[in-house]
Copies of this chain bind each other. A is one copy, B any other.
């Protein structure tokens, strides 16, 4: 993720020239001295560190971007907040709700700018979906459904843990697909459709044991390979969420669909420049799902890029978040989602895991 964030910082000035602030790549930190030098050289960082605590001590650094494994988010974020740094934290905010609460308190107490990299909010097609929902075109909402399907861990010989595969190690990741993939779906869902009230979930670990990359030993797999839940939103609609890394044929199929009384929208990350929209108000004989190629100048963010019909890609959502973060420094407004916003997603993740473990419904308001 260091590459996507850095790319965001480097491109923002080229495409958003009217912003008052421009990021400076002052320092990069990673534990390996060799790797940090190589990375700094490749991407143009002015200096390097191998201990994040040194980064936080430096006076020439105003903002800390956390893109380490999940088990370090809380410690770094809390220390950075105490040092008065702005914080941009990779999602999920933390491994557990408990950690997330402490982080949110820390930034509140310190009064520092903060945001969490739920980048999909700033895919132009997703932002357009938000505009459509907020316009009231959909009317009363009946259904929200989302899934995030992958297939990269089907191979039973894949080890868990270590630098490349920490997402399979429950100690480093906190959870499996719930925190990694469903967290994205939940963040978007709350943003588009409001708070979730209660959840009923099931999780599954298909491959029960894997060799650990670091220890070399066969160890029990602690993460959830798949997670499904249904829920009620506070607006009365029904929600349905599914995530897995065992859906053969899907590389990163993040889709959502909202069905309202008058209209519906849906989106698919695999074709991220398209939004599908159905409007019952269309004349009946020519009514149908429309596929909107979200590349026009009046589409969100797209006046910064190319001419209609020419696509942008995954990493552009990070450029947009950097732009909005910089803009928030001008306006003094928060840059959504803040740690506080991300706490809501964390609560749902917590409830989902507990619901699956207890085989019962969980209310969100108990958290």
Contacts and interface: CB of A to CB of B under 8 A. Distances in A.
Contact of A279 (B43, B230, B286): B286
Contacts of A284: 296, 298
Contacts of A299: 285
A248 B277 contact: no
Given A238-B228, A247-B264, A316-B313, A252 B290 contact: no
A310 B252 contact: yes
A122 interface: no
Interface string A264-292: 10000111111111111010111111111
Contacts of A361: 359
A244 interface: yes
Nearest to A140: B206
A307 B270 CA distance: 12
A288 B278 contact: no
A226 interface: yes
A351 B342 CA distance: 36
B285 A244 contact: no
A159 interface: no
| Most chain B beta-carbon contacts within 10 A, residue among A142, A151, A248, A275 | A248
Interface residues of A, number: 95
B42 A17 contact: yes
Contacts of A42: 13-14, 17
Q: State the oligomeric state as a number of copies.
A: 4
A145 interface: yes
Interface in A172-231: 200, 202, 204, 206, 226, 228-230
A287 B290 contact: yes
Contacts of A305: 313, 315
Contacts of A315: 305-306, 312
B251 A285 contact: no
A308 B14 contact: no
Interface in A92-141: 128, 131-132, 138
A362 to B, nearest CB: 11
Contacts of A150: 309
A179 to B, nearest CB: 17
Interface in A327-367: 359-361
A142 B206 contact: yes
Nearest to A231: B202
Nearest to A145: B242
Given A271-B274, A277-B288, 19 more contacts: A3-B14, A143-B246, A152-B308, A154-B261, A202-B232, A246-B259, A249-B263, A250-B259, A251-B296, A251-B308, A270-B293, A270-B309, A275-B288, A276-B288, A279-B286, A284-B298, A306-B315, A312-B315, A313-B316
The 10 tightest CB contacts between A and B, nearest first, are: A252-B309, A251-B309, A249-B278, A288-B290, A288-B292, A313-B313, A142-B246, A310-B314, A312-B313, A251-B308
